[in-house]
């Protein structure tokens, strides 16, 4: 492959990675549940496109399977499951945070700066075409973790967990062109089963407390 083609592929990969990071910020600022799930699906679609470009550019054929898993699991299956849960649970509320959105965004910007500084020496050791996206991948993980710890409802926390997995997958692709297929299949199955189990857990919380606010779980300490 020519240098110009590789350069174009690298720019395209960096573009997709930047979109993934922007979507992580959009999810962090989102106040409604349904748009939050849609943003997660869009992030998965962008990750799918990025993985396809990496596969085409590098000839790493196992990445086509990884892209297929991402499409089926992150873009189709999990968003459908979450949408169904929201409808079945009659969720109408806004996404609540422990701190206000502007403060969360400022903290998020700080985490992105930290992520890029941490990833810089690591990315210099890599010779992959995607090494420039390692900082973005780490920043996506940290923003997803921030969303998990600042949300008070169960469903946004689960979306944050799934978004964190997107960041980890992007990091693996950035550093080593992905993980072995057996590992990826195992992770995909774990995530899918985990989402189903958490769905059952949501119904138990709602039946017990008539709410999905996880702060009600503190009552169990007194039992």
Q: What is the DSSP string of 68-136?
A: HHHIIIIIIIHHHHHHHHHHHTT--PBPPBSS-HHHHHHHHHHHHHHHHHHHHHHHTT--STTGGGHHH
| Structure confidence at residue 1 (pLDDT) | 45
| Structure confidence at residue 67 (pLDDT) | 86
Question: Which residue from 186, 173, 176 is spatially nearest to 52, judged by alpha carbons?
Answer: 173
The answer, yes or no, to whether residue 103 has pLDDT greater than 50, is: yes
Q: Which residues constitute the domain of residue 162?
A: 3-222
| Structure confidence at residue 65 (pLDDT) | 84
Exposure pattern of 2-24 as b/e (b: 16+ CB <10 Å)?
eeeeeeebbebbbebbebbbebb
Question: How many structural domains does the chain have?
Answer: 1
pLDDT 10s digits, 28-53: 988 888 889 999 999 999 999 988 88
The answer, yes or no, to whether residue 109 has pLDDT greater than 90, is: yes
Give the integer Cα–Cα distance in Å for 26 and 56.
29
Residue that the structure tokens 């690298």 belong to: 10
Distance of CA 220 to the CA centre of its chain: 30
């Amino acid at each position: 492959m020519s240098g110009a083609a590789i350069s174009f592929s690298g720019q395209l990969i960096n573009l997709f990675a930047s979109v993934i990071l922007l979507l992580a910020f959009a999810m962090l600022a989102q106040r409604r549940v349904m748009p939050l799930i849609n943003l997660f699906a869009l992030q998965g679609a962008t990750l799918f496109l990025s993985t396809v470009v990496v596969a085409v550019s590098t000839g790493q054929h196992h990445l086509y399977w990884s892209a297929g898993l991402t499409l089926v699991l992150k873009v189709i299956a999990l968003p459908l499951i979450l949408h169904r849960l929201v409808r079945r649970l009659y969720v109408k509320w806004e996404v609540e945070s422990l701190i206000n959105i502007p403060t969360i965004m400022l903290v998020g910007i700080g985490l992105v700066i930290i992520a890029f500084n941490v990833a810089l020496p690591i990315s210099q050791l890599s010779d992959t075409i995607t090494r420039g996206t390692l900082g973005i991948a780490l920043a996506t993980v940290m923003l997803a973790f921030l969303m998990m710890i600042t949300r008070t409802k169960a469903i946004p926390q689960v979306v944050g967990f799934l978004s964190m997995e997107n960041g980890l997958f992007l990091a693996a692709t950035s550093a080593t062109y992905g993980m072995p297929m057996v590992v990826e299949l195992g992770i995909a199955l774990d995530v899918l089963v985990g989402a189903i189990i958490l769905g059952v857990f949501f119904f138990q919380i709602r039946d017990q407390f008539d709410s999905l606010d996880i702060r009600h779980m503190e009552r169990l300490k007194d039992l």
